[in-house]
Structure 1
Amino acid sequence: MATVALGSKAGKWIMVSTIMASAMAFIDATALNVVLPSLQKSLNASGTDLFWILNAYLLMLTALILIGGSLGDKLGRKKVFMAGIFLFILGSAACGFAPGVTLLIVFRMLQGIGGALMIPGSLSLISSSINPNERGKAIGTWSAFTTVVTMGGPVLGGAFGDAGLWRYIFFINIPIGIVALIILAKQVKEIRDENSKQGLDIAGAVAIALGLAAVTFGFLRIPAVGLNNWQVYASLGGGLLLLLAFIIIEKKGRHPMMPLQLFTNITFSGANLLTFFLYAGLGAGMLFLGLNMVQVQGYSQLQSGLTFLPFTVLMIVIARFAGALADKHGPRLFLIVGPACAGAGLLILSFVKQTAGPAAYWTTFFPGILVFGLGMSFTVAPLTAAVMSSVSDHFSGTASGVNNALTRIANVFANAILGALAVLFFSGALQGEIKNVKLNDKQKQLVIKQAVNLGNAKAPEVFNEQDKATIAKAYKESFIAAYANIMRISAGLAFLGAIMSVMFIRNSAVKKG
């Protein structure tokens, strides 16, 4: 398969189109996290609704992203990539006009279908088009630019959220997607794997979609009905059985969407385990950090978005450099030190209590964000390069799909499991906070009932102003306690990712040019 130089005209157009399309999806995710408080207020959404708005997209993306990668290998990477961008644009427009929570969740699913075709196509195009000796540098460039644009998402989201224009987070995708489609149509050649004759794994897609949905539903029901409830048992049990069925289908199927033989490569397996643990910690940590800043610490949504600028600067300076070094020396050391450093940053952030607001940012949140950003900057490009370079070019689309799917599965599980745990942590802390407040049992139940809304919990109207102030303070202290626990769990997941690198990543298994 013919490849081109990274600095050539064709190489530059490939990079521009893939960066734009990927950034569109990533901006959507990070900006949405920042505007969740506005969205929650505007649509009168509960905390559980918020997790479903996030997970509806992730579920469809996870279920179909492996098929998206396989379709690109079979039908043409450019063609499938463009189809995904088009569907993502349609879903974004529909989300922007959604009148309520239910339809927003449905349209987020349409976005997920588009993303499943689009996201694996970006890295697959790069891996199959750019000269092998420049592939790590190309991936590092892609990682740096997409992360920079992605981290601009919170700033953009914050500005829109403060102005009451949270719907424009979805509308902004439309012009970006259209420009990417024009570039692809006019400047990028079609690339397909001529040796690929595999069919579609419909049974596998159905099994993983229903399995993840059931597991997610089970965890999200825990705050409402409790752990010891038949709905929780049925959902979690059924979901786990379906996920087991997915593994069996992949093992026995003629055309599996996740070829299990890829995992016989210990480095590929280790890189994907690292991806799962690190991105589970990243997803939950960033979500609760943003909610804490806006709903408890008094930051505006724009100020919350701006707090991630140090992360962006580090990615600009380090990511491409780290990708080139990983090409030269191998990714193993970066994939041990980077996640460990990211975990240390999340741990530092977990110790931040009630602050004086944005004026205290530099001595409260900044040190943790700096350490966390440093760790991620040394991780992203070497991790992507390790995944893509540990398999043959024949499986580049599938490998990208597997890794992206695990990233999204990690986010789904983090949102569902840690979201449910956050409500439980919040409720437990709240019971301790109001223990010495002069309330009867019925009043205490009314106060605790608001725990499902997490940082958006409001004192019920039946209380007088003095009691409302006391209860509001209790809500803040309880959220901070829940936030601290979630951040420590997230840090633990990042450290676990570093351990996966120590155990499984081998430089000898990664192709160098």
Structure 2
Amino acid sequence: MATPRPPAPADARTKRLTLLACVLASTIVMIDGSVVGVALPEIRDDLGGGLAGQQWVTNGYLLTLGSLLLVAGSIGDVLGARRVFLFGVVGFGVTSVLCAFAPTIEVLVLGRALQGASGAALTPAALAVIVSVFDADERNRAIGTWTAWSGIGAAIGPVLGGWLVDVASWHWVFLINVPLVVGTVVLVARVIPADRTRDRTRHVDVPGALLCAAGLGGLTFGLIRQPLGGWGAPDVALPLAVGAVLLVLFVVHEDRSPDSMLPLGLFRRRNFVVGNVETLVMYGGLSLLTFYLVIFLQQVAGWDALEAGAALVPVTAVMLVLAGRFGALADRHGPRLFMGLGPLIAGAGLLLLLRLDADVSYVADLLPAVALFALGLSMTVAPLTATVLADAEARNAGAASGVNNAVARVAGLVAVAVVGIAVSASFGSAVDDRLDGTTLGPTASRAADALRDGPFSRPELDGTSAAEAAALRSAAGEAGVSAFRLGMGIAGGLLIAGGLIGAAGIRNPRRVVLAADCAGGQVVGQPGDVGNAEAVPTSAAATGTTPT
């Protein structure tokens, strides 16, 4: 039986290049999560498939990414984070080429599903690599830098995708990944330290992996389908129910398995549990912002796709500058302050969006809210992630990261599905209120019915009179503003709730005071550790003793 060999401490150059490799890999995943949306119309024209095909080009990726994150994180703990990271990066490159040259919509959907699986492998593995390479006192800052730079991918995705589609074709939306993959593979091979010798007493929990993947897959599939079919549809209710049952069986299995892929002891640790609850609430609010803001700006405010896609770019810029700095401050002062105050500030930024109406000025109306939100998010992301990981042993870092990633992904799907019900109802009710007392002909009545069923949609005005068209436009605009404000109010409330959870639940790690360094005790005055004193105590200096 091989004894695990601890890795040698990494030098500064190795740490910098390791962080660069993790940033590049995560950027690829973030870009692919947002870049494809702008290419869907051209993909439909080229490959066909209709609306269902467009949806599954996106949803196939989300399905495998969300359902395999925890499994991949656990496999990384057993086989080594570097191995799984490299596998995920290479897999993402190969599947990107498959997507770029897909001859049919079915092959493209398959390629996207395989891309999601590769993304699930490399995302928690990247975080586990950072944890293994960086010392504890450097980890928060490194995670903050990784998060901020990786966020650039999400921000530039729609802008880059729109440009590539305009100047070339949709194929280049996937081919742009290839040089990033090659650069990442070179860095991994040259600088990331080899995994420690594998602990032969640990094995991949195959039954647990199957139960976990199928359970999360059922939940993810049901939540993806919910906006189209409603909660009572068979293809929504059945996958949700089966997924929930399988996850219960997964927990039962993990409690009994000698090779548990998810150490249930993690859920007895306060910071781990509170951090994941805060993640659930916060990322739900974040997903509502990114989902509804772009729709509102295009469908109600009349912005084009490029303008709407660039609206949140300042968030990435602020995080790039500040996230690492706040991570370093959290290392020094503890995470509780930042995990409590940050979401409150971010939530206040979202509540500023309640001022928006159909005529949106970016500088006067949107930018102040986005900047305040970005500041709060920058305060929170690195301390939150590091706190969750700090409550797990290094050998379980991949599983802890997988749990946190899965919670964040599921939070977005749940928030959009559940809040979508309230937003849709608000939109339909507002349309009725605005049209109350307005006389509409048969064509306009059908347009009004279609408008009620399509939140944020634009009314079909062909065959309507000028007065009817004006009434329908006004109703659609006012209902869109009302529904958007409801969504942002809920999103802001979720972020504020996350801040309260963090402030009340997180405990700063206790300081480690070494008894061996306090041999003189109070006999020689007082230990130098008191008050984090760095100067030599006067009494110690006077007696010639070594400061403690």
Contact 1:334 1:382 in 2 (8 A): yes
Q: In structure 1, what is the Cα distance between the partners aligned to 2:332 and 2:460?
A: 58
Identical-residue share of aligned pairs (%): 33
Residue number in structure 1 paired with 2:392: 391
Deviations 1:375-421 (A, max 9, x none): 01111111122122222111112211111111112122233333454
User: Which of 300, 304, 320 is the equivalent residue of 1:316?
Assistant: 320
Residue number in structure 1 paired with 2:533: none
Structure 1 442/343 Cα, relative in aligned 2: closer, same or farther at 3 Å? same
Contact 1:89 1:177 in 2 (8 A): yes
Residue 138, structure 1, aligned to residue 138, structure 2: no
Contact 1:34 1:291 in 2 (8 A): no
Q: In structure 1, what is the Cα distance between the partners aligned to 2:168 and 2:418?
A: 30
Structure 1 163/465 Cα, relative in aligned 2: closer, same or farther at 3 Å? farther
Within a 5 Å distance, the mapping from 1:295-306 to structure 2 comes to: 295-306=299-310
Contact 1:55 1:415 in 2 (8 A): no
Structure 1 93/459 Cα, relative in aligned 2: closer, same or farther at 3 Å? farther
Contact 1:271 1:386 in 2 (8 A): yes
Gaps of 5+ in 1: none
Amino acid across the alignment from 1:508: P
Residue 241, structure 1, aligned to residue 242, structure 2: no
Cα displacement (A) at 1:511: 8.7
Greater shift after overlay, 476-485 or 119-128?
A: 476-485
Residue number in structure 1 paired with 2:274: 270
Greater shift after overlay, 253-262 or 468-477?
A: 468-477
How many residues end up aligned between the 2 structures? 508
User: Which of 325, 348, 354 is the equivalent residue of 2:329?
Assistant: 325
Contact 1:220 1:419 in 2 (8 A): no
Contact 2:64 2:217 in 1 (8 A): no
Cα displacement (A) at 1:334: 0.4
Residue number in structure 2 paired with 1:503: 504
Q: In structure 2, what is the Cα distance between the partners aligned to 1:102 and 1:482?
A: 35
Structure 1 474/213 Cα, relative in aligned 2: closer, same or farther at 3 Å? farther
Q: In structure 1, what is the Cα distance between the partners aligned to 2:421 and 2:171?
A: 27
Contact 1:73 1:192 in 2 (8 A): no
Within a 5 Å distance, the mapping from 1:85-124 to structure 2 comes to: 85-96=89-100, 104-124=108-128
Cα displacement (A) at 1:480: 2.6
Which has more radius of gyration? 2
Q: In structure 2, what is the Cα distance between the partners aligned to 1:352 and 1:6?
A: 50
Deviations 1:212-260 (A, max 9, x none): 4444555566555555666655454444333333333333333333221
Amino acid across the alignment from 1:273: V
Deviations 1:326-361 (A, max 9, x none): 1111111000011111111122123311115xxx21
Q: In structure 1, what is the Cα distance between the partners aligned to 2:40 and 2:451?
A: 17
Q: In structure 2, what is the Cα distance between the partners aligned to 1:167 and 1:501?
A: 44
Residue 369, structure 1, aligned to residue 370, structure 2: yes
Deviations 1:185-215 (A, max 9, x none): 2333321463364333444444444444444
Structure 1 177/447 Cα, relative in aligned 2: closer, same or farther at 3 Å? farther
Amino acid across the alignment from 1:89: G
Greater shift after overlay, 376-385 or 100-109?
A: 100-109
User: Which of 333, 337, 342 is the equivalent residue of 2:341?
Assistant: 337
Q: In structure 2, what is the Cα distance between the partners aligned to 1:378 and 1:130?
A: 20
Q: What RMSD, in angstroms, separates the aligned Cα atoms of the two structures?
A: 3.4
Residue 2, structure 1, aligned to residue 7, structure 2: yes
Cα displacement (A) at 1:23: 1.0
Residue number in structure 2 paired with 1:195: 199
In structure 2, the residue corresponding to 1:67 is in which secondary structure?
Answer: helix
Within a 5 Å distance, the mapping from 1:113-262 to structure 2 comes to: 113-160=117-164, 168-192=172-196, 194-195=198-199, 197-216=201-220, 218=222, 233-262=237-266
Deviations 1:153-185 (A, max 9, x none): 343245446669565443322221121112212
Greater shift after overlay, 262-271 or 501-510?
A: 501-510
Residue number in structure 1 paired with 2:416: 415
Q: In structure 1, what is the Cα distance between the partners aligned to 2:379 and 2:126?
A: 21
Structure 1 297/72 Cα, relative in aligned 2: closer, same or farther at 3 Å? same
In structure 2, the residue corresponding to 1:507 is in which secondary structure?
Answer: coil
Gaps of 5+ in 2: 1-5, 514-548
Cα displacement (A) at 1:455: 3.7
Q: Tell me the TM-score normalized by structure 2.
A: 0.82
Cα displacement (A) at 1:510: 9.0
Residue number in structure 1 paired with 2:524: none
